[in-house]
Structure 1
Amino acid sequence: MGASKECASGGGEAAVLEQFPVELRVLLVDDDITCLRILEQMLRRCKYEVTSCSEATVALNLLREKKGYFDIVLTDVHMPDMDGFELLELVRSEMDLPVIMISADGRSHIVKQGINNGACDYLIKPITVEQLETIWQHVIQK
């Protein structure tokens, strides 16, 4: 399964807003375990709470089980069990969550497909910490 989780201690809504975007709850999905671990570390450096999954189907089940828990989803585009576009479509139809597509595939028609299907951003690998530091803005815009 490859899921790992780091939990933050509670403190009420006022405390969360006071330190936002610290503890932003991110669901990270990528079938490339090396990339998954690197992105997970980078997101944690940004003080985000990260749950990572190496399978899109597991991620979707987690989103359904913990509806309302996650603030944002970062998903790879090309995965064997379900591609990122299908995951994006299901998340958009069932939940009101911003989804950021990530991929080494930067072909313009693939990027456009992600954005046209409702992704709030499309990040091309290798992804920088600076790019990840600003993902909280997509949550605020929602």
Structure 2
Amino acid sequence: MTVEGRVGGGGKDKFPVGMRVLAVDDDPTCLKVLENLLRRCDYHVTTTGQAATALRMLRENKDQFDLVISDVHMPDMDGFKLLELVGLEMDLPVIMLSANGETQTVMKGITHGACDYLLKPVRLEQLKTIWQHVIRRNTKNRGSDNDDAGQKGPNAEGENGGANRNKRQSRRDRDDNGDDGDDSDENSNDNGDSSSQKKPRVVWSVELHRKFVAAVNQLGIDKAVPKKILDLMNVENITRENVASHLQEVPAVSEKDEYGCK
């Protein structure tokens, strides 16, 4: 039975009770002590004194173990090598166990993929919580599966997801430009009066202002109305409202002062 089944099931064997641990240590005394402590935690324990044997058992009995706890220094195979092979061939949490607590050795175990590094003599309190590594690994794997499904599966927004994103992007663009109108307003004004649509902002350059002044002087200040000025200027992308606004902002102009300055 898998970890998921034992965690979620309503049977008598409730995880972490019965968690299947493979313990590896070439020292018979240390291995026996470790086995007894693990059994006191209500784990199901399998032991071996050789790393090579442990690897064979794992290969031949896939899905039969939840966690491996191994000594670091063993004659037939280094514990780090076992850790490396387990990491490459199967997805099991591995805890390293050693009397060597030097930082370099501990770091080697962690960098090789060990989920924990315990110093001998190991204590019962430490072994009572090692089941968390199984849950953590299982949760991580489920998260990875969900991520893959999300990438390969259909768009959560449906067939119109792309169109909806484009609409939202267009709305954000309008907001950035200071336009508070919505899509319905734009559609309703497609065939309407151009004066009701939002006009592009006009920048009154020196050249544009010169044309404005020339039109005003040609008409005369008394007859210079926005529509006539616009006709004489003959400039694209400029409206009667633009001319009227500029006419109010600019003081009386003459041929002698084409920039409208006094």
Query: What TM-score results when the alignment is normalised by the length of structure 1?
Result: 0.89
Q: 2:119 is matched by which residue type in structure 1?
A: I
Instruction: State the match for 1:131 in structure 2.
Output: 126
Question: Which of structures 1 and 2 has the larger relative contact order (alpha carbons within 8 angstroms, sep 6+)?
Answer: 1
User: Looking at CA atoms only, which structure, 1 or 2, has the larger radius of gyration?
Assistant: 2
What is the CA-CA distance between 1:18 and the residue it aligns to?
6.5
Correspondence for 2:47:
52
The one of 36, 40, 45 aligned to 2:31: 36
In 2, the alpha carbon distance for the partners of 1:107 and 1:120 equals 17
Identity %: 61
Q: 1:97 aligns with which of 69, 92, 101?
A: 92
- Structure 1's unaligned 5+ residue stretches are 1-11
**Matched residue of 1:19: which SS?**
coil
1:19 Cα deviation from its structure 2 partner: 1.6
**Aligned equivalents of 2:131 and 2:11: distance in 1?**
13
Q: Compute the RMSD of aligned alpha carbons.
A: 1.4
Asked if 1:119 is matched to 2:114, the reply is yes
For 2:11 and 2:27, the matched residues in 1 are separated by 32
CA 16–44 in structure 1, closer or farther in 2 if over 3 Å, else same: farther
User: Whole-Å Cα distance in 2 between the matches of residues 47 and 33 of structure 1?
Assistant: 21
Which structure has greater helix proportion? 2
Higher mean alpha-carbon deviation, 112-121 vs 16-25, is at 16-25
Amino acid in structure 1 at the alignment position of 2:29: T
State the TM-score, normalized to the length of structure 2: 0.49
Measure, in 1, the Cα distance between the counterparts of 2:91 and 2:11: 20
CA distance in 2, matches of 1:139, 1:110: 23
Structure 2 gap ranges (5+): 138-262
Higher strand share: 1
1:140 aligns with 2:129: no
CA distance in 2, matches of 1:118, 1:21: 22
3-state SS in 2 of match to 1:20:
coil
Deviation at 1:124, TM superposition (A): 0.4
Moved segments of 4+, more than 3 Å = 15-18
Q: Deviations for 1:30-83, whole angstroms, at most 9, x for unmatched residues?
A: 000000000000000000000000000000000000011100000000000001
Instruction: Tell me the equivalent position of 1:62.
Output: 57
| Amino acid of the structure 2 residue aligned with 1:67 | K
Secondary structure of residue in 1 paired with 2:96? strand
- State the distance in 1 between where 2:50 and 2:19 align: 21
